[in-house]
Amino acid sequence: MKSGKRSEAAHRPSVAVVGGGLAGLAAAEALSRSGMLVTLLESRRYLGGRAGSFKEEATGQLFDHCQHVAMGCCTNFLDFCEQTGVAAYFRRERRLHFIDAQGKTYPFAPVEALPAPLHLVPAFWRQSYLTMGERLGIGTALRRMARLSEEQAESLCVGPWLRMQKQSADVIRRFWEIILVSALGDSIEKTSVAAARKVMIDGFLAHHHAADLHLPAAPLGQIYEEGIARSLFDRGVRIEMESPVDEVFRKSVGGGFSVSVKDEATLQFENVVLAIPGRRVKAVLSPRLFEKVPDLARVDQINHAPITSVHLWFEKPITDLPHAVLLDRTSQWLFAHGAATSPHDGQSAAYYYQVVISASHDLPSGDQAAIIAAVTRELAELWPIAASPLFARVLTQKAAVFSAVPGLEAIRPPQSTPVTGLFLAGDWTKTGWPATMEGAIRSGRLAAEALLRRYGREEKLVTPDLPHTWLCRKLFR
């Protein structure tokens, strides 16, 4: 045993993490923490993948492609932030603000003195845009949803199921859709009851802090560059930007893998963690390797949904609220980002806001002017000053999230593969979570756990879920 430990200490297995999104960053962080020799290869000039930033040319400022929000139930994302020293970049908020079509604001905040799930009952009861009967009906539907078997929940589509529970069109639009479309990124006519249950129970009801919002107080690109990349570098991780991988194939002699990087020499590694979108895996793995991983055969059946963000700069603040949930509108969320320089001339002081529209299938494709006009019209109905932004920009990520349809779990592959030394990471792999930053971080850590098992090391790198309170278990199990 002693000589085995000496041998392990003398040799640090090499790992190529292909992809610098959150899944790849999480795998690199966990493996470097466990003593592996890690090289991270990212094809683009910036880290973060879909959860990244862009630089506005007129001002040189960084802005996120789309507003990303973590919740208190995202235990692995929050721990990852602690491990990489960037937790201070996020601010926690416990109060939501729902605004109806008439402009009335309904605050939604937990009651500290009450145990979960009762901590949200007073806030829910104040949402008087729903009738008392509708609120009682929502509670009944939640209990029925929680008590479905895994097989039932995974086989059912949430929209039709809600109608079977006598949920009216108004209730579905004003309660279920406003939460689930934002959380899951796609229409409730497509997503599964299992995915909806994950959001409603684990994301809101199970624990006092499950629904806390954790909002980045700086652009994600700045957080990656100043915090996460520096933390990984200090641990010995080699980060190669603008290094697109053309192919991963088995070495013909000595085992391990050859990783062909475009316009560079082929690199050699004992292990590879492929942390790229599922739709790209077949193009990167050699045909022989791809054939040896049967779990990848149906990955191309995973569908995706778009998310559109409308970036707006105003001469003055349009509201004092830090964020708002907008009812009965195309615009779903508004986020305030404070003072910034307006891109319209690169020098004027302005106030920057972002409107997020998930599952934006029905927005006019390619017609930025129409989208901006529709969004500013909706905002101006609530805040007249919003009628005339100094500058506006629309960004749509066409494959922002995978669609959590019924039966999806049978398609998502595990992080380990039959090929020794080859592992998968990405929110599309089997994590038990929908397409979220939390799911991406979990996948990277699960891949790291699987890799360490290759060397006889049973290490738990995944942070446990928040515990369900006894009352939540009693009411919803």
| Owning domain of residue 353 | 304-402
For residues 192 and 326, state if they share a domain. Answer: no
Is residue 152 domain-shared with residue 173, that is, in the same domain? yes
Annotated binding site: 245
Indicate if the pLDDT at residue 319 is higher than 60: yes
pLDDT at 477: 73
Domain count, the chain: 3
Domain boundary, last residue among 211, 240, 269: 211
pLDDT at 56: 86
Same domain as 268, residue 314 = no
| Local structure of residue 299 (DSSP, 8 states) | G
Is cis: bond before 117, omega within 30 of 0?
A: yes
pLDDT score of 4 more than 50: no
Percent of the chain, pLDDT > 70?
98
Q: Is residue 75 part of a domain?
A: no
Residue 134 belongs to some domain of the structure: yes
Instruction: For residue 180, tell me if it sits in a domain.
Output: yes
Rg (CA), the chain: 23
Q: Dihedral, CA atoms, 265, 22, 230, 27, nearest 10 degrees? A: -70
Report the chain's mean pLDDT, rounded to a whole number. Answer: 95
Same domain, 200 and 231: no
Residues 290 and 438 in one domain: yes
Q: Is the same domain home to 322 and 379?
A: yes
pLDDT band (50, 70, 90) for residue 47? very high
Amino acid occupying residue 460: K
- Is residue 366 situated within a structural domain? yes
Tell me if 466 is assigned to some domain. Answer: no
Same structural domain, 391 and 419: no
Same domain, 309 and 294: no
Give the integer Cα–Cα distance in Å for 213 and 97.
12
Residue 86 is assigned to a structural domain of this protein = no
Q: Write out the binding residues for FAD.
A: 245
Say if 66 falls within a structural domain.
no
329, 344: one domain: yes
Provide the 3-class DSSP secondary structure of residue 167: coil
Q: pTM for this one?
A: 0.95
Element (H, E) at 87: none
Residue 64 inside a domain? The answer is no
Give the 3-state secondary structure of residue 304. strand
Rounded Cα distance, 226 and 219, in Å: 11
Question: What are the tokens at 78?
Answer: 């929050």
